[in-house]
Amino acid sequence: MTGWTWQYEGYDPADERLRESLCTLGNGYFATRGALPECGADAVHYPGTYAAGCYDRLTSEVAGHRVENEDMVNLPNWLPLRFRLAGQPWLTPDTDTVLDHRQVLHLTSGLLERRTRYGLGEGRVLSVRQRRLVHMADPHLAALRTEFTAEGFAGEVEVEAALDGGVTNSGVARYRDLDGCHLTHVHTGTAAPDTVWLRCRTRASDIRIGLAARMTAAAPVITRHPHPRAVQRVRLRLTPGRTVTVDKTVALHTSRDPAISDPLRAAVDRVGAAPGFEELLTSHRTAWDQLWRRAGLDVSGKAGHVLRLHLFHVLQTLSPHTADLDVGVPARGLHGEAYRGHVFWDELFVLPYLNLHLPEVSRALLLYRHRRLDRARAAARAIGRRGALYPWQSGSDGREETQELHLNPRSGRWLPDHSRLQRHVGSAVAYNVWQYCEASGDAEFLHTKGAEMLLQIARFWADSATYDEHLGRHRIRGVVGPDEYHDAYPGAPEPGLDDNAYTNVTAAWVLARTLEVLDALPEPRRRELVERTALEGAEREQWEEVSRTLHVPFHDDVISQFDGYGDLAELDWDGYRARYGDIRRLDRILEAEGDTVNRYRASKQADVLMLGYLFSPSELRGLFRRLGLRLDEDIWRRTVDYYLRRTSHGSTLSGLVHGWVLARARRAGAWAFCQEALRGDIADLQGGTTGEGIHLGAMAGTLDLMQRGLTGLETREGALWLDPVPLPELSSYGFSIRYQGHWGVRLRLERGHLEIEVPSSDRSPIDLRLPDRAVRVQPGETSRLALAE
């Protein structure tokens, strides 16, 4: 690591999948993994290209069951470019002598550079330098420049570039029993002497895909079309010390794009009009410069380097171009095929960061949920409920995409998957609606689409709650919480748990917040919404009652993860660590032993403690007071300690949440968890999973940890609220935000002081709230404030 580059030295096949994920280039519209262009998909390499929102659904036979799965499609590979000395085999790092190899990811410019020196014997060396970009200004373009230099010999180098339509979805080993052949009707052709094209479509969703590639070199280009590839070849004369160059410029369109008539014609026209590599690089750099200014983060040391890498990958997945797309937040980015490109609850960790930098992108991601509100209402009706039930996994149309079976690679067994019972996704959608509107001031969205989603989610929770005469409280039964390990009671014939604390408390928050929003709506709009949804006064009264009487179980003076959690057996944590070492995926270990994690007080990741991630201490205490329950500092401290000892951290989100919660509580050990969150992908802590795609929620969450977690930053009541926590390992840091029309508001915390700079504009002053005072900062002013001890 250096300040703005990410470098890999040497070539090791075992590291390639991880490097390919972390060196992915994208622009929000599409992304391409950082595979070497001369290498095809095999056990070592996996070149993949994915367009946001491009899904296809196929049915497979698995373990005697017909299983339907929708995947984010691996599109035709635009990357192939191989080379050899005339008459010799094609060179690859797996078959030939590599003297030196280096890959450098330039974060400032979104450029992937590679340098390799191939030893050819008898003192001959071929030096290869490549620079690659996926254009951030024009989301349909990508380019690859390759430079060849002969050392100690003269001769000819033959270069072959291709568009390859023979690709499949095969990047995740545990999915290989599923049908991954999504492309059909592959055709290729020649558009001009230097330009070839490929068109195809997806098998079920019928998305048409068009690619065009232009090859530029100082020699004639020869074109061939062996099915299913379009191939261009050129021979270049090499003399010692003289560099020759081949440029490949590619355009990609699909039938999901607006303002085109045909994706193939659009791709051919775009690549024909595209300038040369240097001019493309200039405009690409300008777009990245603008992005870094809008989302800038100033943190020193190794933590700062990793945070910049995380921000880079967040911006490649969710860029300003995303604002024009109908897409959600893919949990693994556009970087690989894990989770099949589906949308989970990870937006809960992503949107709070985007709200204060790219609010137009947050709005677009919420529109993805609103467009699928009718599907969520249909899902609720299907289980006999009113309101909206958002799916645990979503894809193209908002239906539940969660698999019915999942493979335990440790035991080799296919097992029932009950994670669709994680109905708390609706609460995440509601939370993001509210956070976005508070940060952006977008009253129009809150009064229209936001209020519609809030109302239907609240309606679902109220209709899901049943009154227990014995407890004198409402209960929500048959769900699964964020922990995911526990999906049933030991020996129970049916899956599901009762009164998951996270689910019930967030449901209470949704109900209370929705009532507040309804009361604040302009009367004409409230009347429209009430008429459209047939909302009656008695229903609102029910919401009020349920929001105050949902059951939150306790045991041993701590909040129970769910009712009955305290009755489970204790696990021999030391024994399992001694036996297995890494026990992050304790569920798989126990299942392979013929046991089940459902028997034990053991959590995969934060569940109860997620409440301390979403809500400030004062807001969380207020929620419990509304429920008629006491939550003081001692109870919360005991709860935190209790689950710290019983969590295996089998998710990249777990370290993030624990670090956040400990930091807000000013507890020792916070930085160790923050470091684990920072290392999650770069060190591949989950054991090979990063090579299948980054963990976008965890990456964005680490950025938000700096932005909101350590600063206590909240956007509410028309003001910025700050309550910074001291972290000795991070004494100074800064960032800029976009807040309610103010662009580039700069905050910096350093040695007990807070500095806020508000750029000149015609906007109103920013009201700042600290624990001990209120400050108003005018546009064009900088204020430096001493923080209370």
DSSP letter string, 513-530: HHHHHHHHS-HHHHHHHH
How far apart CA 408 and CA 743 sit, in angstroms, is 48
Can you read off the two tokens belonging to residue 410?
A: 């440790």
How far apart CA 721 and CA 733 sit, in angstroms, is 18
In degrees and rounded to multiples of 5, residue 208 shows phi and psi of -85, 140
| Interacting residues of 569 by C-beta distance below 8 A, sequence separation 6+ | 599, 600, 601
How far apart CA 87 and CA 101 sit, in angstroms, is 24
Q: Is the dihedral of CA 430, 434, 439, 441 positive or negative?
A: positive
Helix axes 301-317, 670-682, angle to 10 degrees: 50
Question: Is 469 tagged catalytic?
Answer: no
The strand ranges marked E within 1-96 are 5-9, 25-26, 30-32, 49-51, 55-62, 65-72, 81-85
User: How far does Cα 120 stand from its chain's mean position?
Assistant: 42
| Interacting residues of 782 by C-beta distance below 8 A, sequence separation 6+ | 755, 756, 757, 758
Can you read off the two tokens belonging to residue 565?
A: 């959690």
Helix axes 617-626, 633-644, angle to 10 degrees: 100
66: DSSP letter: E
| Interacting residues of 322 by C-beta distance below 8 A, sequence separation 6+ | 28, 29, 52, 361, 364, 365
Quick one: which H or E segment has residue 669? none
DSSP letter string, 717-784: TTEEE------TT--EEEEEEEETTEEEEEEEEETTEEEEE----SSPPEEEEETTEEEEE-TT-EEE
- Give the residue ranges of DSSP H helices in 257-405: 263-273, 277-294, 301-317, 347-354, 359-371, 373-382
List, in sequence order, every residue forming a beta bridge with 745; answer none if it has no partner. Answer: 737
Q: Find the catalytic residue in 16, 347, 401, 484.
A: 484
Q: Is the dihedral of CA 297, 300, 305, 307 positive or negative?
A: negative
475 closest CA partner among 460, 458, 461, 457 = 461
Query: Residue 367: helix, strand or coil by DSSP?
Result: helix
341 closest CA partner among 137, 169, 511 = 169
160 closest CA partner among 224, 102, 109 = 224
Residues that are catalytic: 484
